[in-house]
Amino acid sequence: MHKDETARVLSLSLLVGVCAGLAAVILVKAIGFLQGLVLPLIQTPGSRWAALVLPALGMLLALLLVRFVLRDNIGHGVTKVLYAVSRNESRIKPHNTWSSLVSSALTIGLGGSVGAEAPIVYTGAAIGSNLGRVFRLSWRNVTLLVGCGAAGALAGIFRAPLAGVLFTLEILLFNLSMRAMMPLLISTVSATVVSCLLLGRTPVFACSLAPFSMGNMPFYLVLGAVCGLCSLYFTRTTLGLEDRLAQWRNPWLRWLGCALGLGLLIFLFPPLFGEGYNFLDPLLNGHAAVPNGSPLSSLLGSGWGVPLFFLLVLLLKVVSMTLTNSGGGVGGTFGPTLFVGALTGFVLVRSLNLLWGGSLPEQNFVLVGMAGLMAGVMQAPMTAIFLIAETTGGYDLLLPLILCSTVSFGVTRIWERYSIYTKRIAQNGDLLTHDSDQAVLTLLRTRDLVRDKYPRLPLEASLAEVMPVVKGSTAAVFPVLDAQGRFQGELEMDDIRRHLFDADALQSLHVYNLMHDAPAVVDADEKMDSVMEKFDRTGAWRLPVLTGDRTYLGFISKSRILSAYREELKVLSGE
């Protein structure tokens, strides 16, 4: 960065952090206010019917807002941020500075079984993107402010500045240089200060931990393996169920079906209401019990019924989350990941204690399980370790957190290369990664590298008719087009040269007699790694670029790609 722009970025990172922290506070307060009105009603025996109605109402309000006011898809916030960086020059629409916040508050506050973290990350990233563009920063610095906004939003909602930085570097996959660390730290610290001033310094997950014992480390290793398997279940069930529900084309029927399913699940399993964080308090303090509000409490209220109940909640949380998002609600998978991780730790440790009459500290395993599942689902072990340590004050459990997160991450990676946030866009070739080579190819756009300096030759023209064009050009290849401008083939200078002094051939031969097919053609919107594969396969130096109806746009050359690659790599490396 130049010195003047560096100063602007530092100042803006502070502003972005403050705004993201305020947005996080507003969202937490809004959800808390709505849940304060709704939860007592749902927990009252005579009003249990509200569990069938209120979450559906929240989903409907969010659906109406998105469909008729915003007219935009604002779900899957973290994935949207990744896509904006890799394919949209870090441009995020201005309405995203508030729309995700409002719609997720309505969804979660009225009982939608999703998390608030992804919407607030999207909100923070949108704040950074729009401020960066208002001040006319370069693409790289706008991208840095997007990261600052995302990091600040997460730091604000969890009051965990280090976790916010790691989230941006590890989960959002920004390939940033070390000089970008200062804006990120300024943003996360300022957001955390704002959040602490307005929400207090009480840990998000208040817990009473038992003393750490090295003798329990083998059990934490087992927990890591179990969390890895649960991560696979979480990711694949979520994406698979989303695909199935997306086949239901009518949005109102899909809302109705998802709302009925969600209401029934919350009625039977009250911990599925909202994010579920309030139901984690007993687990984090060693007082786990089946909630009295559940119709199953009398059946599963003791002995093996307790871990069975929470196992069912664990498995169904993924379903309730997907029903909420697919039915029109707006929320993320971050909160449900922590929730399912806590239940994974509890079910395992309670089962072990019942089997062998042991006394393993349940609250410790609940806490470590949260990190384990986060490391597997999000494939971000460092973020998982320090987020849980910061939000709970559980640094005494740092060794188990590291062991469980590492094992969970490793087990997940055996079968799943991408995180729940990156899998879909990776399949489309739109993922910006820490691999500099792949990152540069992702950022290069085919349309930007097309050159139209090559004279166009009509398909039906004779050689004599095109000779003035050929003589006046230094091009080595000429595109051949029909009357509608559609590409038919190409003609090389070597094909023409041997007929230059043959007067009869100049009159009798036509362009279509001498032209030949291109070694390959490139679509105008084709991914750059696919374009490079065509160059490697054909050995060509240049290839024609066409639209879907074969309209000719120009040629893309290997030399132009390599030049753009070098320039982009310099920018990406911060040189």
214-433 under CATH 1.10.3080.10, yes or no = yes
pLDDT for 383:
92
**Residue among 39, 66, 69, 67 nearest 54 (CA):** 39
Radius of gyration of the chain from Cα atoms? 29
pLDDT for 173:
57
Residue 119 neighbours by CB under 8 Å, 6+ apart: 27, 74, 77, 100, 101, 103, 104, 330, 331, 332
Distance CA 575, CA 571 (A): 6
DSSP letter string, 453-521: -SPPEETT-BHHHHHHHHHT---SEEEEE-TTSBEEEEEEHHHHHTTTT-HHHHHH-BHHHH-B--S--
Amino acid, res. 573: S
Nearest 5°: the CA angle 207, 335, 156 is 75
Residue 443 neighbours by CB under 8 Å, 6+ apart: 86, 432, 568, 572
**Residue among 430, 321, 411, 421 nearest 378 (CA):** 421
Distance between start and end Cα atoms, the chain = 9
pLDDT for 439:
60
pLDDT for 77:
79
Domains 3-199 and 214-433 alike in fold? yes
pLDDT for 62:
94
Note the residue count of the chain.
575
| Helix (H/G/I), strand (E/B), else coil: 523 | strand
Q: What is the pTM of this model?
A: 0.81
- Sign of torsion over alpha carbons 220, 225, 228, 230: negative
CA–centroid distance for 422 within its chain: 5
Residue 511 neighbours by CB under 8 Å, 6+ apart: 457, 458, 459, 460, 461, 462, 463, 466, 480, 491
Nearest 5°: the CA angle 203, 209, 213 is 140
| Helix (H/G/I), strand (E/B), else coil: 91 | coil
Asked if 165 and 38 count as a contact pair (C-beta separation under 8 A), the reply is no
pLDDT for 26:
96
Asked if 522 and 547 count as a contact pair (C-beta separation under 8 A), the reply is no
Which token pair is 39? 């939860």
Which token pair is 104? 């997720």
- What's the CATH fold of domain 3-199? Clc chloride channel (1.10.3080)
pLDDT for 443:
65
Distance CA 192, CA 532 (A): 45
Query: Any idea of the CA torsion for 195, 200, 203, 205, to the nearest 10 degrees?
Result: -90
Exposure class string for 522-533: b at 16+ Cβ within 10 A, else e: bebebbbeebbe
pLDDT for 38:
86
Asked if 557 and 535 count as a contact pair (C-beta separation under 8 A), the reply is no
Distance CA 137, CA 129 (A): 10
The domain limits of the chain are: 3-199, 214-433, 441-572
- Beta-strand (E) ranges in 203-262? none
Helix ranges (DSSP H) in 269-380: 281-284, 305-326, 334-356, 362-377
Asked if 124 and 81 count as a contact pair (C-beta separation under 8 A), the reply is no
- Phi, psi for residue 560 in degrees, rounded to 5: -70, -40
Amino acid, res. 33: F
Residues of the chain falling short of pLDDT 70: 1-3, 46, 173-178, 427-443, 501, 568-575
3-state secondary structure 275-302: CCHHHCHHHHCCCCCCCCCCCCCCCCCC
Query: Any idea of the CA torsion for 97, 331, 200, 385, to the nearest 10 degrees?
Result: -110
pLDDT for 2:
57
- What's the CATH fold of domain 441-572? CBS-domain (3.10.580)
**Residue among 490, 468, 462 nearest 477 (CA):** 490
